[in-house]
Structure 1
Amino acid sequence: MAQNHEIAKEVLDAVGGKENIASFAHCATRLRIMVNDKEKIDQKQVENIEKVKGAFFNAGQYQIIFGTGTVNQIYEEMEKLGLDGSSKEEVKSQAKQQGGHFQRAIRTFGDVFVPIIPVLVATGLFMGLRGLLTQPEVLSWFGTTPEALSPNFLLYTKVLTDTAFAFLPALVAWSAFRVFGGSPVLGIILGLMLVNPALPNAYSVADGSAEPLTMFGFIPVVGYQGSVLPAFFVGLLGAKFERYLRKRIPESLDLILTPFLTLLVMITLGLFAIGPVFHSLEEVVLHGTTAVLNMPYGIAGIIIGFLHQIIVVTGVHHIFNLLEIQLLEKTGVNPFNAIITCAMAAQAAACLAVGLKTKDAKLKALALPSSFSAFLGITEPAIFGVNLRYMKPFIMGLIGGAAGGFLASLLHLAGTGMAITVLPGTLLYLNSQLPMYILCNLVAMAIGFALTWVFGFNDKMLNDMKIADK
């Protein structure tokens, strides 16, 4: 087995040498490289390097998949070869200049929402655990009932499950200010202003127990608890307005006037213009999403289960973060998670079938760890390293995802959170849904595995590819 130092040298040679690397960084599984000239990259040479599980251009970067742990070691070895690593943010900043307007917009949208996902993941887990601990069947094991639970204990669990969504605008506005170059602390304050207790609570207005304020005789004003789009655009415009002010206000007055004017102007716009407009748009998006998910006969599951991993390949799947956040905030459940989990489980099973069926030692060593990674919710190594390379396993995985999604949709399966799937995702279905969750994923896996084993792969495909590469 080649040493990591040798692998780093091979990577450097295959991407065109030091002079072709503008900057490089790494994330959890991938080496992310900005190159000066794409034509100097030898794609076949990169894919044949030991431990490489796939390589492709995405979001303006050349991304080489090594997997967790390994990528850190390869990155360190490349630094030893005389390359200066960049932060992931710097590489992303360069990448934002590439691609079409739509791709850049989705990338920016993802940059805003990805940092707040860990908090929403934790909240989803709290919801799942709360559902488990309040089930009569579970409580009966301890000789008690839901009615006998301490009100203080239930209040404590509500603090865990409700806080992130009650103050979601503060998280979104903070992240938007950070991404668009403003002062994040101003974003936090603007987001908190949008949910100030002095405003009518959005949940109370929704259930009819409170009325919106009417400003200037015609503008309805409410708090924006759980809203996303108003906070996003307040953050975007607020950061740009702050930067505009800093360029024009004398340094001696900057500390006083810039935050004062930024907060004054943006909360006025947020409550009286941006909030009402984008909250209405948010409702339209939510109703549209709900309508698709409520399509009869499991049609939504078929469509989403089949298409989701194709969208992952394009790199614009971060747009779904908004939809999942809205579903959780408005309904408390996330049926989208259940469907896409089946799509990922099917790709994992297709990759596993390739790994078990092939007699090629290198492909087996690539496919088996990649399938395990996919069962943990990270499908890129399986997709780009194995399934998409031979195409048929990818298609069989799509069919399995559609079948599992169909069943999940018919059973109205819905998670209590977002962003974790397949094996870790079981924690989102502890509220009596776990047997159905396991069933849907087993169906997706069985179909993806069986179709790949019978129709999707044989070693002749591997040999044909090797001949084509020569």
Structure 2
Amino acid sequence: MATNEQIAKQVIEAVGGEENIQSFAHCATRLRIIVHDREKIAEDKVESIDKVKGAFFNSGQYQIIFGTGTVNRVYEAVQKLGITGSSKEEVKKEAKNQGNTFQRAIRTFGDVFVPIIPVLVATGLFMGLRGMLTQEQVLSFFGLAPDDISQNFLLFTEVLTDTAFVFLPALVAWSTFRVFGGTPVIGLVLGLMLVSPALPNAWAVASGDADPLNFLGFIPVIGYQGSVLPAFVAGLVGAKIEKFFRKRVPEALDLIVTPFIVLLIMSILSLFVLGPILHVVENWIFTGTKALLELPLGISGLIIGGLNQIIVITGVHHIFNFLEIQLLENLGYNPYNPIVTAAVAAQGGAALAVGFKTKQKKLKALAYPSSLSAFLGITEPAIFGVNLRHGMPFVMGLIGGAVGGFIASLFQLKATGMSITVIPGLLLFLNEQIFMYILVNVVAIATAFALTYFFGFKDKESI
């Protein structure tokens, strides 16, 4: 097996040499390279390099899949050869103008929400653990009943599970200011203004326990606990306004005057104009999403489970983070997650079948770890490294995802969080749903595996 230094040299040569590399960075699984001339890349050579699990163009970047851990070492080896790397942010800026308008917009949307996801994942895990610890069956194992649980303990769990969603607008506004070139702390304060305790609580208004403040006889003003869209647009507009004034306010006054003007303008604009309008739009989006997920007879799971990984290929799947946040905030659970879990697991099942059936050592060595990666929730190695390259395994994975999604929808599985799937996703179902969740994954994997093994893969292609 080649060393990481040898692999680094082979990668540089295959992408057209050092002079063809504009910039490069890496994420959790992929080396991301922007090149001057795409035609100079020898894609066959890239994919034949040891430890490479696939390669593809997306969002203006040539992305080479190495997998978790390996990519860090290869990146370091490339740097040792004298090629200066870039941060992921710098690479994103250079790729910003590549792709169509829709792709660029979705990519920006993803840049805002990706940094927030870890705390929402943690919140979901806390919800799952609370659900497990308050189950009557679990408590009886320790000789306890629900009435034995301390109210102080329950209050503490509410701090863990509710804080991120109560102050979600602050997180969104902070991240949006950061992405659009504003001062993040101004965005943070603006977001906190949207959930100020001086305003009627959004959840209290929704339940009828409080009334909106009425300005000018027709403008309803409330807090925006759990809302996303008003904070996102407020952050975008606020960052642009800040940049406008930064260029015009004298440097001696900038530190005081600019934040004052931005917060004054944006607090008025957000609470009296953007908030009321976008809150209505947000409710429309939520209603449409909920209607799709509530289609009868498991139809929603069949559709979403079958199409999800096609959307992943396009790179615009980050928009669903917004929808999942809305579901958790409005419903208290996430019916989208178990359906997507089936889609992810099925691609792993298809890749596993390729590994079992092929006699090609390199393909086998690629398929097994790619399937494991999918079972841990990351499908890119399985999709781009194995299934798409051979065509039909990807299709069989889509079918497996549709079947698993159908079962998840039919039995109305509800995750307590978001963004983790398959094996890690077990933590979102630590309640009476756990066995059904396992069944959904097993069925998705088994369906994709069987279809791929018997009908979807012939071991004739060379790799």
TM exceeding 0.5: yes
2:332 corresponds to which residue?
332
1:233 corresponds to which residue?
233
2:351 corresponds to which residue?
351
How far apart are the structure 1 equivalents of 2:355 and 2:113?
35
1:317 corresponds to which residue?
317
- Structure 2 residue matching 1:55: 3-state secondary structure: strand
How far apart are the structure 1 equivalents of 2:77 and 2:431?
46
1:155 corresponds to which residue?
155
Give CA deviations for 1:152-179 in whole Å, capped at 9, x if unaligned: 0000000000000000000000000000
2:89 corresponds to which residue?
89
How far apart are the structure 2 equivalents of 1:108 and 1:302?
29
Amino acid of the structure 1 residue aligned with 2:315: G
1:371 corresponds to which residue?
371
How far apart are the structure 2 equivalents of 1:416 and 1:23?
40
Matched-pair identity in %: 70
Task: Indicate whether 1:31 and 2:31 are aligned.
Answer: yes
Deviation at 1:75, TM superposition (A): 0.7
Amino acid of the structure 1 residue aligned with 2:10: E
How far apart are the structure 1 equivalents of 2:59 and 2:172?
22
Deviation at 1:458, TM superposition (A): 2.3
Amino acid of the structure 1 residue aligned with 2:366: L
Deviation at 1:256, TM superposition (A): 1.3
Amino acid of the structure 2 residue aligned with 1:305: G
How far apart are the structure 1 equivalents of 2:148 and 2:7?
61
Amino acid of the structure 2 residue aligned with 1:29: T
Segments of 5+ residues of structure 2 without an aligned counterpart are: none
Task: Indicate whether 1:431 and 2:431 are aligned.
Answer: yes
- Structure 2 residue matching 1:459: 3-state secondary structure: coil
Q: How many equivalent residue pairs?
A: 463
Amino acid of the structure 1 residue aligned with 2:143: G
2:223 corresponds to which residue?
223
2:189 corresponds to which residue?
189
How far apart are the structure 2 equivalents of 1:234 and 1:243?
14
Task: Indicate whether 1:172 and 2:149 are aligned.
Answer: no
Amino acid of the structure 2 residue aligned with 1:194: L
Deviation at 1:97, TM superposition (A): 1.3
Give the RMSD, CA atoms, in angstroms. Answer: 0.7
Amino acid of the structure 1 residue aligned with 2:219: I
How far apart are the structure 2 equivalents of 1:171 and 1:59?
26
Task: Indicate whether 1:289 and 2:289 are aligned.
Answer: yes
Task: Indicate whether 1:445 and 2:445 are aligned.
Answer: yes
- Structure 2 residue matching 1:115: 3-state secondary structure: coil
How far apart are the structure 1 equivalents of 2:95 and 2:287?
34
Task: Indicate whether 1:210 and 2:215 are aligned.
Answer: no
How far apart are the structure 1 equivalents of 2:217 and 2:458?
71
Deviation at 1:5, TM superposition (A): 1.1
Deviation at 1:4, TM superposition (A): 1.2
Deviation at 1:145, TM superposition (A): 1.1
1:123 corresponds to which residue?
123
How far apart are the structure 1 equivalents of 2:80 and 2:148?
62
How far apart are the structure 1 equivalents of 2:425 and 2:407?
17
1:73 corresponds to which residue?
73
How far apart are the structure 2 equivalents of 1:31 and 1:22?
13
How far apart are the structure 2 equivalents of 1:147 and 1:77?
59
- Structure 1 residue matching 2:247: 3-state secondary structure: helix
2:141 corresponds to which residue?
141
How far apart are the structure 2 equivalents of 1:311 and 1:87?
26
Task: Indicate whether 1:64 and 2:64 are aligned.
Answer: yes
- Structure 2 residue matching 1:24: 3-state secondary structure: strand
1:2 corresponds to which residue?
2
2:278 corresponds to which residue?
278
Give CA deviations for 1:345-386 in whole Å, capped at 9, x if unaligned: 000011001111111111011000110011000000000000
How far apart are the structure 2 equivalents of 1:395 and 1:58?
20
How far apart are the structure 2 equivalents of 1:2 and 1:170?
48
Deviation at 1:203, TM superposition (A): 0.3
How far apart are the structure 1 equivalents of 2:349 and 2:435?
19
1:301 corresponds to which residue?
301
Task: Indicate whether 1:257 and 2:247 are aligned.
Answer: no
Give CA deviations for 1:17-44 in whole Å, capped at 9, x if unaligned: 0111011001110000011111111111
Amino acid of the structure 1 residue aligned with 2:303: I
Give CA deviations for 1:33-72 in whole Å, capped at 9, x if unaligned: 0111111111111111111111111111110000011111
2:267 corresponds to which residue?
267
Segments of 5+ residues of structure 1 without an aligned counterpart are: none
Relative to structure 2, which stretch is displaced further, 100-109 or 450-459? 450-459
How far apart are the structure 1 equivalents of 2:221 and 2:68?
47
Give the 4+ runs in structure 1 shifted more than 2 A. none
How far apart are the structure 2 equivalents of 1:352 and 1:229?
40
- Structure 1 residue matching 2:116: 3-state secondary structure: helix
2:396 corresponds to which residue?
396
How far apart are the structure 1 equivalents of 2:254 and 2:68?
45
- Structure 1 residue matching 2:114: 3-state secondary structure: helix
2:108 corresponds to which residue?
108
Amino acid of the structure 1 residue aligned with 2:189: I
